[in-house]
Structure 1
Amino acid sequence: MMEFSLSILIWCVVVCVLLRLWRRYKEFVRWKVLQLPPGTMGWPYVGETFKLYSQNPNVFFADKQKRYGDIFKTHILGCPCVMIARPESAKFVLASQAHLFKPTFPASKERMLGPQALFFHQGDYHAQLRKLVKLSFLPEANRQIVPDIEARALLALHSWEDRTLNTFHEMKRFSFDVAFVSIFGRHDVLEKEEIKQYYNTLEKGYNSMPLNLPGTLFHKAMKARKQLSKILSKIICERKSSSCSHEGLLETMMRSSEQPLSDSKIADNIIGVIFAAHDTTASVLTWVIKYLTDNAPLLEAVTAEQEAILGEKGGEKRGKQGYLTWADTKQMPLTSRVIQETLRMASILSFTFREAVEDVEYKGYLIPKGWKVMPLFRNIHHSPEFFPDPQMFDPSRFEVPHKPNTFLPFGNGAHSCPGRELAKLEILILLHHLTTKYRWDVVGPDNGIQYGPFPVPMQGLPLKLSRKNCRQ
């Protein structure tokens, strides 16, 4: 009996080994039949990270696509990647076959933003978080926040008068203030400046190499991240013990009834939303002003559209908070097309990250499990196949519907940006008061682009702003 049991055990071991060898053989055959996409991987560990972030992304991505086609491999931020540059490929990864590709960033970025942020998840947890975030950005919520955005726009513009300013830096302050009120509500948060200080430190390390050594940007960023968590935990604790009612995303997350969120989950998502709402909106605003400055007839047309809204109100409340309404922002079609064309032309988000959850076959190539997959929005937006004469700034191209999956400034699928309407709203409100009250001139050279990591005009587009000579 014992010998029989031993024989059975041996046969089981043999079968397991044979099955394992068979799986390895099938994997070997698959890798032999399905090759990796063409491309280069760069230097060990760093790959092509420095090359990507030290030059015009148009050049980096366009050269890759020209040399290797619409799907190619590279290695950036410590990760092997497959980049794709076709609308149908972007749809495949982000929408139709999204279950094969989990949302992800490089590990260093996940640690900075927080591993429990909605950017990095799928399934029920992501659905719950997305629902809560969308509740804070519904039309009704945006309608209520118009006076708050306008108040901050007027204060910002007043502070810019008669001085030379770094447009991008000032737009970052403005967009941070708008993000702050949308998250924490109208009530004063004593820790606001402290949060801003630590967030700025975090931001500086965001695209640094993930070397957690004293003195490095990454190390400083991770220390700032810990402090942000402590501050947010303190605010959450105070809100829980307060009898006052608050608005904003923080309150919405704290009141989640489906499945209560821990303080750490709330903190991760608050930091993530600040990140998503901050630099990107500031970059778009800076580029809008740049493109309007370079195109005098277009600036005149946008100003005329905004002056028409002013004229309908008689101009009597021109400089006062509460002047604009939600309905007014829906009467700005040309200005809205200028924003769309800016999103296409500047392509602030050049790509997004996904990760293959299993080996995926696509267009005859193998995308190995664990590799990052990056739909290249910039390449699609700058393709003459979808946007004729793509290097020309032409808002009229958005007078007709664009082809599906060719305009993706906010991504696609379940992980598309839920705050897109709020971003558009704050841009429209600031542009209304800027064009109707002020004139400006670029100081110094007005050409060139710098990257850090989002593309912005050289030196942040230095401007000299002054009020128009008219009755205020």
Structure 2
Amino acid sequence: MSTIFAGLVTLIMLIIMVVKKLNQWRFTTKFGAKLPPGSLGWPYIGETLQLFSQNPHVFFSSRQKRYGDVFKTRILGCPCIMLANPEALKFVLMTKANLFKPTYPKSKERLIGTNAIFFQQGTYHSQIRKLVQASLSLDTIKPRIPKIELIAKSTLNSWADGRVVHVFQELKKFTFDVAVLSIFGELDSYYHQVLKENYVTLDKGYNSFPTIIPATCYFKSLMARRRLSQIIRDILNDRREKRLTTRDLLGCLLNFNENGKTLTDDQIIDNVIGVLFAAQDTAASVLTWILKYITDHPKLLEEIQREQMTIYKANANGEQPLTWTQIREMQVTHKVILESLRMASIISFTYREAIQDVVYDGYLIPKGWKVLPLFRNIHHNPAFFDDPETFNPSRFEAATIKAHTYMPFGYGAHACPGNEVAKLLMLVFIHHLVTHFRWEVVGPHSGVEYDPFPVPEQGLRTRFWRTS
């Protein structure tokens, strides 16, 4: 019996090898190009189990070391081409971006909305991107600094009782409130509360198994998504009745009119929820890492405190609000943010799909295959960053960063348009953190969790106290 089983296994392996060789021969004959090196693993499963059983960075880095900067794999049933050098990223995300469409699992598109900016290409994408950029421009966000300060102070004060705080989850509340300010401006407290309650439910099911069985996380998220749509629709109707003209995102979307063409309510709702999603988790993840890094480097923390205390004293010991000029003077803190973005690489990679057969550097990228530009691999490549595993903000003191090697907010037409707001809220939060509070990390923080973005283990469990 064992002999027959061994024979069957051997036969299956031979069939797999023959199929692989035939595919390679077919592609080389037809296009004069071959598939990149790498392993597609088992049929359908591919290398999914290997990816999920270890740190994703280790998974991708080990294969880059073995196969080179362009390699293939199969994940979650999808054959993929991985790209880990600046030239390849520029090719896919900028030079030939029209040949690669953004792609997400349908289950996630349903929760956010198919009209959201990061599922789109072409004219519609360009129009929405301009509207988002207009609502998040420096001229628009500067007057919001005092309000962002109030949100930061309220958040930190709520932690200052010596209890153990799950920093990442608490920072998600802070970044949500700042996102609401950017999207809706002044919002009725009732709407703010029901938006938060339903968005939290949606967020919990975003990475759950997509089943529509009642009581499951995904089903609850779908129901919360329907309620969010109605809440935002009510806000839209309220604004139309009052004929309000505002420079927040909702105002920009609502007042869009190009050659008589306006946005539908569904398009507005999908983009509002999309921006909420993009703004909350990423900024909260980065801020959590910043807190970890400055805790791990006491001398650097002292340097940040000196810089921020100078501004604090100039503002009558915090009695006056921060100004844009003072924000621009936070050079040490700004470099810490830049290095944290590189080290943590919250957006480790992005998804694209080839809409036709494409040849890059002698390699074939077949139509329908997923393409994953690996930002984190480039951020941690010693060819571009000396001693890349060491946290070193001074690397940003001089303009020595090679072009197309630092992409913490993505790259190309789909790069995050809200990066200035993200850095602003981080600078404001850090200012009030280091000038008013002391803290102690009490939980493990050497490991990494994915929620879905990388965060320190257990969300960096920490105690905070106000200083005198």
Residues 186 and 247, structure 1, Cα contact 8 Å, conserved in 2: no
**Residue type at the aligned position of 2:179:** A
**Residue type at the aligned position of 1:365:** Y
Aligned to 1:373: 371
Residues 360-399 of structure 1 correspond to what in structure 2 (within 5 A)? 360-399=358-397
Q: Distance in 2 between matches of 1:230 and 1:30?
A: 55
Aligned to 1:298: 300
Aligned to 1:435: 434
Aligned to 2:418: 419
**Residue type at the aligned position of 2:183:** I
Greater mean alpha carbon deviation, residues 36-45 or residues 124-133: 36-45
Aligned to 2:112: 113
1:73 aligns with 2:96: no
- Give unpaired runs (5+ residues) of structure 2: 1-24
Deviations along 1:336-387, whole A, 9 cap, x unmatched?
Answer: 0100000000001110111111100012221111222110001000001101
**Residue type at the aligned position of 2:83:** I
Greater mean alpha carbon deviation, residues 357-366 or residues 28-37: 28-37
SS in structure 2 of the partner of residue 276 of structure 1 = helix
Greater mean alpha carbon deviation, residues 135-144 or residues 189-198: 189-198
Aligned to 2:57: 58
CA-CA distance at 1:34 after TM superposition: 2.5
**Residue type at the aligned position of 1:420:** N
CA-CA distance at 1:191 after TM superposition: 2.5
SS in structure 2 of the partner of residue 293 of structure 1 = helix
Aligned to 2:147: 148
Deviations along 1:94-117, whole A, 9 cap, x unmatched?
Answer: 111111112222322222221111
Residues 244-259 of structure 1 correspond to what in structure 2 (within 5 A)? 244-258=244-258, 259=261
Residues 78 and 106, structure 1, Cα contact 8 Å, conserved in 2: no
Q: Distance in 2 between matches of 1:300 and 1:292?
A: 9
**Residue type at the aligned position of 2:323:** T
The change in CA–CA distance for 1:272 and 1:394 in structure 2 (over 3 A counts) is: same
TM-score (norm 2): 0.89
Residues 132-211 of structure 1 correspond to what in structure 2 (within 5 A)? 132-162=131-161, 163-211=163-211
Q: Distance in 2 between matches of 1:358 and 1:117?
A: 24
CA-CA distance at 1:188 after TM superposition: 1.8
Q: Distance in 1 between matches of 2:243 and 2:110?
A: 34
1:242 aligns with 2:253: no
Aligned to 2:403: 404
Q: Distance in 2 between matches of 1:413 and 1:345?
A: 21
The change in CA–CA distance for 1:29 and 1:465 in structure 2 (over 3 A counts) is: closer
Identical residues among aligned pairs (%) = 52
Q: Distance in 1 between matches of 2:48 and 2:151?
A: 37
Aligned to 2:17: none
**Residue type at the aligned position of 2:457:** M
**Residue type at the aligned position of 2:63:** K
Residues 90 and 375, structure 1, Cα contact 8 Å, conserved in 2: yes
Greater mean alpha carbon deviation, residues 428-437 or residues 101-110: 101-110
The change in CA–CA distance for 1:184 and 1:68 in structure 2 (over 3 A counts) is: same
Aligned to 2:330: 332
CA-CA distance at 1:118 after TM superposition: 1.1
Residues 334-353 of structure 1 correspond to what in structure 2 (within 5 A)? 334-353=332-351
SS in structure 1 of the partner of residue 203 of structure 2 = helix
Q: Distance in 2 between matches of 1:54 and 1:113?
A: 28
Q: Distance in 2 between matches of 1:28 and 1:165?
A: 55
Residues 246 and 252, structure 2, Cα contact 8 Å, conserved in 1: no
Greater mean alpha carbon deviation, residues 130-139 or residues 68-77: 68-77
Q: Distance in 2 between matches of 1:229 and 1:52?
A: 35
Greater mean alpha carbon deviation, residues 456-465 or residues 441-450: 441-450
Q: Distance in 2 between matches of 1:210 and 1:78?
A: 16
CA-CA distance at 1:413 after TM superposition: 1.4
Q: Distance in 1 between matches of 2:237 and 2:381?
A: 50
Q: Distance in 2 between matches of 1:232 and 1:274?
A: 12
Q: Distance in 2 between matches of 1:213 and 1:34?
A: 46
The change in CA–CA distance for 1:109 and 1:187 in structure 2 (over 3 A counts) is: closer
Q: Distance in 1 between matches of 2:279 and 2:297?
A: 27
Residues 55 and 451, structure 1, Cα contact 8 Å, conserved in 2: no
Q: Distance in 2 between matches of 1:198 and 1:453?
A: 19
Q: Work out the number of aligned pairs and report it.
A: 440
The change in CA–CA distance for 1:82 and 1:207 in structure 2 (over 3 A counts) is: farther
The change in CA–CA distance for 1:89 and 1:314 in structure 2 (over 3 A counts) is: same
Q: Distance in 1 between matches of 2:385 and 2:243?
A: 54
Aligned to 1:129: 128
CA-CA distance at 1:33 after TM superposition: 4.0
The change in CA–CA distance for 1:220 and 1:284 in structure 2 (over 3 A counts) is: same
Aligned to 1:269: 271
Greater mean alpha carbon deviation, residues 447-456 or residues 47-56: 47-56
Q: Distance in 2 between matches of 1:48 and 1:215?
A: 31
Deviations along 1:270-303, whole A, 9 cap, x unmatched?
Answer: 1110111000000000000000000000000011
**Residue type at the aligned position of 2:373:** P
The change in CA–CA distance for 1:365 and 1:214 in structure 2 (over 3 A counts) is: farther
Residues 339 and 393, structure 2, Cα contact 8 Å, conserved in 1: yes
Greater mean alpha carbon deviation, residues 173-182 or residues 183-192: 183-192
**Residue type at the aligned position of 2:304:** V
The change in CA–CA distance for 1:277 and 1:52 in structure 2 (over 3 A counts) is: farther
SS in structure 2 of the partner of residue 283 of structure 1 = helix
The change in CA–CA distance for 1:217 and 1:426 in structure 2 (over 3 A counts) is: same
Q: Distance in 2 between matches of 1:103 and 1:37?
A: 21
Aligned to 1:22: none
**Residue type at the aligned position of 2:345:** S
Greater mean alpha carbon deviation, residues 62-71 or residues 287-296: 62-71
SS in structure 1 of the partner of residue 190 of structure 2 = coil
CA-CA distance at 1:32 after TM superposition: 7.1
Q: Distance in 1 between matches of 2:172 and 2:48?
A: 25
Q: Distance in 1 between matches of 2:46 and 2:212?
A: 19
Q: Distance in 2 between matches of 1:48 and 1:440?
A: 41
CA-CA distance at 1:459 after TM superposition: 0.9
Q: Distance in 2 between matches of 1:198 and 1:123?
A: 31
Aligned to 1:465: 464
Greater mean alpha carbon deviation, residues 114-123 or residues 221-230: 221-230
- Give unpaired runs (5+ residues) of structure 1: 1-25
SS in structure 2 of the partner of residue 191 of structure 1 = helix
Aligned to 2:19: none
CA-CA distance at 1:247 after TM superposition: 4.3
Q: Distance in 1 between matches of 2:464 and 2:241?
A: 45
